[in-house]
Structure 1
Amino acid sequence: MLSWEYPPAVVGGLGRHVHALSEAMAAAGHEVTVISRHAPGAPADEIVNGVRVIRVPDDPPLFEFNPETLLAWTMAFNHAVTRAALAVCDEIQPEVVHAHDWLVAHAAATLKHHLGVPLVATMHATEAGRHQGWLPGDLNRSIHSVEWWLTYEARRVLACSEYMRWQITQLFELPPAKVDTVPNGVHPQDWKVSAAAVRTVRRTYGSTLDAPLLLFSGRLVYEKGLQDILAALPRLRRRHPGLRLVVAGDGPYGDELRAQARRLRLGKSVQWLGFVPGRQLASLAAAADCALVPSIYEPFGMVALEAAAAGATLVLSDTGGLAELAKNGVSALQVPAGSPAAIADAVSRLLRDEVLSRRLSRQARAVATRDYAWPRIAEQVIETYEQAVIEERELAAALRRTGRAPTPLRIVVPDGNLLADGTD
């Protein structure tokens, strides 16, 4: 399994997904090796909860990880991953290579061809989706071309929601039968929080124990919609004196968001915590009166699922994977994406109706812990692996019979809005 994130090097939901999935697969008796990037102080090669984790240092030249150096950094990282993976494959013969997103595409394709095993790719998001269907610059078009190529090279592709499955088949010209939908998951036991921990959070972050406490958790990027929560806060503060918002996360849009909070004179009503590890995040979610996930673009919505497992009451955008979570029984109030007024009204409704809030919390928690437990998700991924192995063998047999080579690769990177009307 190849991933650019793995604990303790975690940036967003992808790293948590790979960590939980690999350990659930190992617990089910499968042999799993994860190759990821090195993190300061972490062992280069260790076995944790049945998963062998190999962390590779950056190849020179050394780049700071930012948009200007992203492609160069990725190429250097893929060289390092490929070398480490080939060394491991001298010891074991993997049956499947599993790539998580485009940042490991080159290493994954190399291993697929060198080892003669099927490649499975999970697309956690797409570049076009992150920009509302557009590829505005050269970097965006370059990333899109790598995503296209990764799904071409893959024997099977995994999407985290039906929304993402549709998007992937449209963007990358894939036959729908090649793409399987397997959602993200949660470990219910990791999101159980004691009453004492809840009281501690409310004393620490609330203006008073009884004042409303809201939570946003996620990367600080435009598509996550935190700017709309901030825009809703002035009217929420007027309606609910003492209300506080806790922001758990970091990211490249952070400076702009903090500047917006200053312009709105939000002061101490917003507390910026930066990256928050899992146990602390669970306590924040359990203590909050409401967890807000107002994304403009959201392939799945792992933070919503985790908050539900902790017992939070949810306000979700009616878009993408978040709308699908609600459709599948994760109860929440839904609002149009990009609407501060709707966010303010939904939060006020929950704060004024404790019966409704508790009912939504109970229902969401029950569905999250029953239908999205990681062992169940791991079983579905294994089924995709098994199908990929069967298809790879059938293709090899057909090639031996006919002698025909695969169709040559052709990549076309279009301009314009790729998802404008759902048909492009």
Structure 2
Amino acid sequence: MRILFITPILVPPILWAGSHRVVYDISKALSKRGHEVIVLTSDIINIKEKKKINSKIDTCNHVKIVRNKIVNFKLTEITGMTISTDIMAFLKKALKDFDVVHAHEYRTYENIVLHHYAKKYDITYLLQAHGSLRRDDPKRSLKWVYDIFFGYSLLKDASKVIALTPTEAEQYMSMGVPKEKIAIIPNGIDLSEYAELPPKGSFKKKFNIPEDRKIILYLGRIHKIKGVDFLIRAYAYLKNKMDFKDAVLVIVGPDDGYLSEVKSLMHDLSVSNSVLFTGLLSEKDKIKACTDASIVAYLGPFEPYGLVSLEAAACETPVIVAQETPMAEIVNRGKFGFSVKYGDVISLASMLHRVLSDKELTENLGRNGRRYVFNNFDWSKITEKYEQVYGEVTNDKR
């Protein structure tokens, strides 16, 4: 099949958001199975840092990436969307040439343009929101506006929508999508990257962390909704109130507008000297970080999935996630970590202390996680589910 993916940002190997990683991994997996995959995206690398990539067309792992030039960064910052005139020309000319059109994420400019031309030329498309349907965050008013003018029509006219979990399927239904149009397909990870783990200590050596120090690791964007402040408060309680001095908190990921507040909080809680910020790391260095960590904390209360937890488990590292999230169910089922009520600082600090103080527990959770992830989240198996959905859509077209 000739498959078109549409997504706002994709610049491998700089995959700083979970959805970027998923889009790229699905593309690679489909390509390996003989499909021709073209990804239509923007020329942005990072909106906050105003970074762009110069190449118009790239090929990575047999996946062709076509980039549209955005109008300007100011307009992107104001709207939160990668607005480009190039995408209109591409879709007008080439949309009819694909067997499958698969739109990734939900409230995007690309989806507005896709919907227009799909209606005009009677083209079917699939939509995968990647957990972006919710409206219970500071941008809820803007999200309402998008939904009223574009979103509900976009969902209504999609041939199929893909949900990560039953919870996301319910969110689709609450927005008017019939149950029969929803396919539930979980995310996976590229297990070939975790087949042979790096030697213990390589990350600590690179960042001058003493060998006897334990690492509490956060991997992800530094954003208010990600629970970084919750983790820092618990770390401060662990260090200052529970007198556990043998752990360093390592925060890996790009600033997404919240770094200054995080540093101010660290200063107020007197933990600045024992928190390390690495910025964005390569995939290899992230695996080294997970391998050296004693525990990975990924505590966003609105996380639709949370690939970080699966990646940590693949490295034999236990995880802590927020309760009442889809990943909490997976972690509990696989017995490779714990879940905590979001905002309960003392409970989180106590869980951290328990894991950091019990080597046997840490090793058991680690073994459970690696086994569970390798048995259930291999992209090669999950890709078959995408092919099945694509087949249903193309058969419907005929």
Normalising to structure 2: TM-score of the pair?
A: 0.88
Which of 143, 167, 190 is the matching residue for 2:171? 167
Map 1:168-187 → 2, pairs under 5 A:
168-170=172-174, 172-187=175-190
Structure 2: distance between partners of 1:283 and 1:11: 16
Q: Counterpart of 1:245 in 2: which secondary structure?
A: strand
1:152 aligned residue: 156
- Relative to 1, partners in 2 of residues 1:129 and 1:379: Cα closer, same or farther, differing over 3 Å? farther
Q: Counterpart of 1:128 in 2: which secondary structure?
A: coil
Which of 74, 85, 91 is the matching residue for 1:63? 74
Letter of the 2:236 counterpart: P
Structure 1 residues 348-403: Cα deviation after superposition (integer angstroms, max 9, x where no partner): 1111221111111111111112211111121111211122223344xxxxxxxxxx
The answer to whether the Cα contact below 8 Å between 1:128 and 1:135 also exists between their aligned partners in 2 is: no
The answer to whether the Cα contact below 8 Å between 1:180 and 1:384 also exists between their aligned partners in 2 is: yes
Kindly state the Cα deviation for residue 281 of structure 1 after the two structures are TM-superposed: 0.7
Structure 1: distance between partners of 2:245 and 2:218: 19
1:277 aligned residue: 282
Structure 1: distance between partners of 2:135 and 2:331: 20
Which of 223, 230, 233 is the matching residue for 1:231? 233
1:407 aligned residue: none
- Relative to 1, partners in 2 of residues 1:353 and 1:129: Cα closer, same or farther, differing over 3 Å? farther
Q: Is 1:291 the equivalent of 2:303? A: no
Q: Counterpart of 1:227 in 2: which secondary structure?
A: helix
Map 1:328-407 → 2, pairs under 5 A:
328-329=333-334, 331-393=336-398
Which of 123, 142, 145 is the matching residue for 1:142? 145
Query: Which ranges of structure 2 fall in alignment gaps of 5 or more residues?
Result: 45-51
Structure 1 residues 326-346: Cα deviation after superposition (integer angstroms, max 9, x where no partner): 254262112112222121111
The alignment yields a C-alpha RMSD, in angstroms, of: 2.2
Structure 1: distance between partners of 2:102 and 2:333: 27
Map 1:56-135 → 2, pairs under 5 A:
56-59=68-71, 63=74, 65-66=76-77, 68-70=78-80, 73-74=81-82, 76-77=83-84, 79-89=85-95, 93-101=97-105, 102-103=107-108, 104-126=110-132, 128-131=134-137
Structure 2: distance between partners of 1:279 and 1:181: 30
1:30 aligned residue: 35
The answer to whether the Cα contact below 8 Å between 1:185 and 1:374 also exists between their aligned partners in 2 is: yes
The answer to whether the Cα contact below 8 Å between 1:332 and 1:360 also exists between their aligned partners in 2 is: yes
Structure 1 residues 139-158: Cα deviation after superposition (integer angstroms, max 9, x where no partner): 23223434333211211000
Which of 1, 21, 28 is the matching residue for 1:16? 21
Kindly state the Cα deviation for residue 277 of structure 1 after the two structures are TM-superposed: 2.2
- Relative to 1, partners in 2 of residues 1:136 and 1:95: Cα closer, same or farther, differing over 3 Å? closer
The number of residue pairs the alignment matches comes to 380
- Relative to 1, partners in 2 of residues 1:374 and 1:130: Cα closer, same or farther, differing over 3 Å? farther
Kindly state the Cα deviation for residue 159 of structure 1 after the two structures are TM-superposed: 1.0
The answer to whether the Cα contact below 8 Å between 2:213 and 2:247 also exists between their aligned partners in 1 is: yes
2:49 aligned residue: none
Q: Counterpart of 1:121 in 2: which secondary structure?
A: strand
2:313 aligned residue: 308
Kindly state the Cα deviation for residue 135 of structure 1 after the two structures are TM-superposed: 6.5
2:55 aligned residue: 43
Structure 1: distance between partners of 2:169 and 2:335: 20
Structure 2: distance between partners of 1:255 and 1:143: 30
1:264 aligned residue: 269
Structure 2: distance between partners of 1:98 and 1:127: 17
Normalising to structure 1: TM-score of the pair?
A: 0.83
Runs of 4+, deviation exceeding 6 Å: none
Kindly state the Cα deviation for residue 15 of structure 1 after the two structures are TM-superposed: 0.9
Structure 2: distance between partners of 1:136 and 1:58: 25
Name the one with the larger strand percent. 2
The answer to whether the Cα contact below 8 Å between 2:156 and 2:176 also exists between their aligned partners in 1 is: no
2:48 aligned residue: none
Structure 1: distance between partners of 2:139 and 2:264: 27
- Relative to 1, partners in 2 of residues 1:147 and 1:283: Cα closer, same or farther, differing over 3 Å? farther
The answer to whether the Cα contact below 8 Å between 2:135 and 2:143 also exists between their aligned partners in 1 is: no
Structure 2: distance between partners of 1:218 and 1:13: 8
Query: Which ranges of structure 1 fall in alignment gaps of 5 or more residues?
Result: 394-424
Identity of aligned residues (%): 21
Map 1:182-261 → 2, pairs under 5 A:
182-192=185-195, 194-196=197-199, 198-205=200-207, 207-238=209-240, 239-250=243-254, 251-261=256-266
Q: Counterpart of 2:6 in 1: which secondary structure?
A: coil
Structure 1: distance between partners of 2:136 and 2:329: 18
Which of 3, 25, 31 is the matching residue for 2:7? 3
Q: Counterpart of 1:63 in 2: which secondary structure?
A: helix
Letter of the 2:327 counterpart: L
Letter of the 1:113 counterpart: K
Structure 1 residues 289-317: Cα deviation after superposition (integer angstroms, max 9, x where no partner): 00001111111111111111122111121
